[in-house]
């Protein structure tokens, strides 16, 4: 019998709920003083990059416009362009940090799309490797994540920080200027 070893999950299991977020997490998290605690990796003028707390794979990030809306058609041209450029920069940082074989990127729009937060749009950017899908989700209804989110954060943040036109903010996240 194989054993799954994930001691970093104990922090999640033992949490007391005192850090539960009131309101929209995509509006609250980028305002926190400690970017690493909130998993805010990088920011631009109109969008930011947040690691997913429930990742499909290590390095699963989301690029999120600062504007609180669930409708893609509500975003003005400047926000759309900033969001698109930050997505491109996120894909480059993921490629540098994790060297995946591919990347899935996409939006879940509307309550029927499968997303858990439908009133603040966000683009998932998920690194993929040949062989990262195995029997566990099919036979055991479980996904094995092989890296702690905090470790993914450090790798991805370093990749952003090494890029051109960046500076580190007081919070610790990396600001990307276009």
- What's the maximum distance between 2 C-alpha atoms anywhere in the chain? 54
In CATH, what number is assigned to the domain containing residue 54?
Answer: 3.30.428.10
- Residue 80 forms part of a structural domain: yes
In 3D space, the residue among 154, 176, 164, 155 whose CA is nearest the CA of residue 35 turns out to be 154
The boundaries of the domain holding residue 71 are 24-176
Q: 127 with 59: CB under 8 angstroms?
A: yes
Structure confidence at residue 117 (pLDDT): 85
**Model pTM?**
0.85
Low-confidence ranges of the chain (pLDDT < 70): 1-20, 133-145
* Count of the separate structural domains present in the chain: 1
Evaluate whether residue 2 is within a structural domain.
no
Residue 13: inside a domain, yes or no? no
Neighbours of 25 (CB within 10 A): 16
The reply to whether 96 falls in a domain is yes
pLDDT score of 142:
62
- Are 36 and 51 in contact, with CB atoms under 8 Å apart? no
Residues in the chain: 178
pLDDT at residue 140, as a whole number = 56
The structure tokens 């998290």 sit at: 29
**Could you read off the pLDDT of 95-117 as tens digits, one per residue?**
999 999 999 999 988 888 777 78
For residue 14, is it within any domain? Answer: no
3 occurs within a structural domain: no
The pLDDT assigned to 132 comes to: 73
Determine the pLDDT at residue 99: 97
Active site residues: 122
Q: Which residues on adjacent β-strands are paired with residue 123?
A: 63, 107
Say how far apart CA 169 and CA 118 lie, in whole Å.
29
Residue 173 vs residues 31, 50, 61, 88, 92: alpha-carbon distances, Å: 11, 10, 14, 18, 17
pLDDT digits (tens, 9 = 90+) for 81-94: 999 999 999 999 99
């Amino acid at each position: 019998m194989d054993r799954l070893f994930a001691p970093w999950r104990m922090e999640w299991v033992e949490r007391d709920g005192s850090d539960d977020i009131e309101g929209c997490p995509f509006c609250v998290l980028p305002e926190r003083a400690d970017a690493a605690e909130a998993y805010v990796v990088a920011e631009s003028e109109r969008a930011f990059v947040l690691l997913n707390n429930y990742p499909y794979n290590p390095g699963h990030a989301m690029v999120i416009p600062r504007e609180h809306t669930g409708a893609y058609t509500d975003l003005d041209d400047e926000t759309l362009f900033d969001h698109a450029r930050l997505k491109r920069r996120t894909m480059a940082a993921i490629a540098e940090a994790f060297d995946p074989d591919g990347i899935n990127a996409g939006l879940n729009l509307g309550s029927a799309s499968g997303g858990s937060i439908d009133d603040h749009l966000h683009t998932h950017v998920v690194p993929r490797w040949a062989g990262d899908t195995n029997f566990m989700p099919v036979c055991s209804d479980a996904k094995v994540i092989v890296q702690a989110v905090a470790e993914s954060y450090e790798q991805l943040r370093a990749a952003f920080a090494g890029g051109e036109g960046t500076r580190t903010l007081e919070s610790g996240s990396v600001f990307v200027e276009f």
